[in-house]
Amino acid sequence: MPSRSVSPLSSVEMLRRLIAFPTVSRDSNLELIRFVRGILEPYGSEIRLTHDEAKRKANLFATLGPRGEPGIVLSGHTDVVPVEGQAWDTDPFAMAEKDGRLYGRGACDMKGFIACVLALIPEIMGRGLKTPLHLAFSYDEEVGCIGVGRLIADLRQAGIRPRSCIVGEPTEMRPVIAHKGKKSYRCTVRGLAGHSAYAPLGVNAVEYAAEAVAFLKQMARRHRDRGPYDRGFDIAHTTVHTGVIRGGSALNVIPHECAFDFEFRHLPGDDPDRLLSEFRDFVGTGLVRDRRLAVPACRHPDGGVRTGLDRAGAQAERVRDARSAHSLRGVPAPPRRSSLRKGVILITHHASCIANVRRKASCPFVVIVTTRERRARRIQPRST
């Protein structure tokens, strides 16, 4: 067993060394991993590395002490957030000490924890471990906890099932024993465009999206009023929230598309998939009254995970195919031939629309009101 002198670095000195590796999430962390490995290997630790696809980053999972029984994990991430555009007084990757505080990128979140763990390894090993101690240091936490997924998959495959895990994220020295889960989605509603004067003939995607958002709000209120509750959380119930909505192009155009992003932040016991199916049921039955409406998918706005609502989408595709592509460009779809035979008033300022109607129509007359010029013209159909 190596003596204390193998790693004589104090936690402060260890932190200085760790901060000097500029492990911003977009960059490699391999130098830091090599450094950590060098500290742990003399103690006979078993080390597993899992890399990203480009082999530029790695998670490190080390086991110290006895093997073959469930151990305790000390876990931290090695990556840090960028420093560009921030007013640093000192080099962010050279630790500075001022008024009893240590400054540097990642000093707090969360190389400080990793430094303390590594500095204590000689003492921990000197006392003798009765239970395995695991160290799990991941990459790409700051950009969505991407790295640790591979680490966990590797442990599962290797049959390593630790007993518990302490994550050293900064919480001002207060233990945080649980965290809400989060699932986020993008819902895209597709309608049928047209001039707003023809509102009943189109399908207003913004209005249907608003109904869907209102349904989510109902779900949010139900959780607020009826729980379940866990008083350990600042907000004691599952929350449902819509944060972004985009749709429509002009007041006089029936909006063809509207997309909104929403999320569930759920209590540990609440099932987010059940919440999503409740929303899907509403969309599939309550919302899709108009067969020309398409709510094709709820996607994860970041990851592109498709979660369905495809049945409604398929219905609407058929409707869209049956209509002129015209209707998707923000002008009214030409009315059906049968109605043109009786004559029709068409409000448009698109020359192509007029030509299209004239070509297709064998009606006695078409009156065209141009919305720009605000005057009516009477156009004779071609003789057939």
Q: Please list the active-site residues.
A: 79, 141
State in angstroms the smallest separation of the CB of 110 from Zn ion: 5
**Binding of residue 110 to Zn ion (CB under 5 A):** yes
Please identify, among the stretches 95-103, 106-114, 125-133, 243-251, the one whose residues bind Zn ion according to the rule CB under 5 A: 106-114
* Least CB distance to Zn ion at residue 177 (A): 17
Cα torsion through 47, 52, 54, 55, rounded to 10 = -10
Residue 207 engages Zn ion in binding (rule: CB under 5 A): no
DSSP letter string over 252-313? TEE-SEEEEEEEEEE-TTS-HHHHHHHHHHIIIIIITTSTT-EEEEEE-TTT--B---HHHH
Give the range of 34-42, 61-69, 108-116, 324-332 binding Zn ion by CB under 5 A: 108-116
CB of 85 to Zn ion, least distance (A): 20
Give the separation between CA 215 and CA 300, rounded to whole angstroms. Answer: 19
Give the Cα separation of 160 and 165 in Å (integer).
13
Q: How far apart are CA 31 and CA 37, in angstroms?
A: 10
* 114 lines the binding site for Zn ion (CB under 5 A): no
Q: Which one, 111 or 280, has the nearer CB to Zn ion?
A: 111
54-93 binders of Zn ion (CB under 5 A): none
Handedness of CA 67, 71, 72, 77 (dihedral sign): positive
Pick out residues in 128-147 that bind Zn ion (CB under 5 A): none
Please tell me whether residue 109 binds Zn ion under the rule CB under 5 A: yes
Neighbouring-strand partners of residue 63 = 46, 134
How far is Cα 110 from Cα 145, in angstroms, rounded to an integer? 14
Residue closer to Zn ion, measured from CB, 41 or 109:
109
End-to-end CA distance of the chain: 101
Mention every residue, 6+ apart, whose C-beta is less than 8 A from residue 167: 75, 76
Would you say 23 and 32 are in contact if contact means Cβ atoms under 8 Å apart? yes
Per CB under 5 A, which region of 102-110, 152-160, 173-181, 356-364 contacts Zn ion? 102-110
Please report how close the Cβ of residue 76 comes to Zn ion at its closest, in angstroms.
Answer: 8
Q: What's the farthest any 2 CA atoms get from each other in the chain?
A: 103
CB of 109 to Zn ion, least distance (A): 4
CB of 166: closest distance to Zn ion in angstroms?
14
Q: What is the 3-state secondary structure (H, E, C) of 60-112?
A: EEEEECCCCCCCEEEEEECCECCCCCCCCCCCCCCCEEECCEEECCCCCCCHH
Stretch that binds Zn ion, among 105-113, 156-164, 226-234, 245-253 (CB under 5 A): 105-113
* CB closer to Zn ion, 38 vs 170: 170
Minimum Å gap between C-beta 112 and Zn ion is: 10
The pairing of beta strand 46-51 with beta strand 58-64:
antiparallel
Q: What is the DSSP letter of 165?
A: E
Q: What is the DSSP string of 341-362?
A: TT-EEEE---HHHHHHHHHH--
- Which of the stretches 147-155, 167-175, 203-211, 303-311 binds Zn ion when contact is defined by CB under 5 A? 167-175
Q: How far is the CB of 152 from Zn ion (least distance, A)?
A: 17
Total residues at the site for Zn ion (CB under 5 A)?
3
Which residue number places its CB atom closest to Zn ion? Answer: 109
110/220 with CB nearer Zn ion: 110
The rounded distance, in Å, linking the Cα atoms of 45 and 274 is 43
- Collapsing DSSP to helix, strand or coil, 45 comes out as coil
Asked if 310 interacts with Zn ion (CB under 5 A), we say: no
Residues 227-286 that bind Zn ion (CB under 5 A): none
Residue with smaller CB distance to Zn ion, 52 or 169: 169
**CB neighbourhood size of 319 (10 A):** 16
| For Zn ion, the closer CB: 46 or 109 | 109
Q: Measured from the CB atom, is 41 or 169 closer to Zn ion? A: 169
Q: What is the DSSP string of 131-148?
A: S-EEEEEES--TTTS-HH
**Closer residue to Zn ion (CB): 49 or 143:** 143
Candidates 47-55, 165-173, 184-192, 260-268 — which segment interacts with Zn ion by CB under 5 A?
165-173
Instruction: Give the binding site for Zn ion (CB under 5 A).
Output: 109-110, 169
